[in-house]
Amino acid sequence: MNRATRLLRILQTLMAFAIGVYAVIGELIAPKVPHQIAIVYVILVLVAACMAGVGHIVRRHMIENAERTLATDPENPKALRLWIGAQVMSFAVADAVALLGLLARLLGSTFFAVSLFYLGGLFLFWVFRPARSAPVVLSPSSSPQSVP
């Protein structure tokens, strides 16, 4: 595993750990009696879903562009920065989904309702895990041969 991927996995672990901190903070500070915030909750769910969808599309586009360049030139600093930036942006999206859960909890939603945001953020961290595809290089000796 190269240095950039290792550092990104450390960052991912720390940011995923922060989701647990958000849950604890939400339980310590939240109102003891839940409030009816159904409309606000639905809006926060829609915002979280849109963030996850757009984040996935943007990430995929950025990663594909970077990996296409890195396949031909593995040491290209611009493509490497683009790849790292796409990963960090993905982590920010996952963390923001969990923060929406904290916001809903502070507004008076129940822990069960906001746990879906926390679990969604953790799921996005799993989906957005950093992994560079190895470039496929065919040597002349490994070219496909026809079988008689």
pLDDT per residue of the chain (148 residues) written in tens, 0 to 9: 488 888 899 999 999 999 999 999 999 998 888 888 889 999 999 999 999 999 999 999 999 888 888 888 888 889 889 989 999 999 999 999 999 999 999 999 999 999 999 999 999 999 988 875 544 333 344 444 434 4
pLDDT of residue 118: 96
pLDDT of residue 132: 58
Other beta carbons within 10 Å of 1: 10
Phi, psi values for residue 130, rounded to 5°:
-75, 130
Q: Which position has the token pair 């920010």?
A: 92
pLDDT of residue 146: 38
The ranges assigned to domains in the chain are 3-133
Other beta carbons within 10 Å of 50: 10
Kindly give the residue spans of alpha helices, DSSP state H, lying in 30-139.
38-72, 77-107, 111-127
pLDDT of residue 143: 44
Say how far apart CA 16 and CA 123 lie, in whole Å: 10
pLDDT of residue 74: 83
Three-state SS for 51? helix
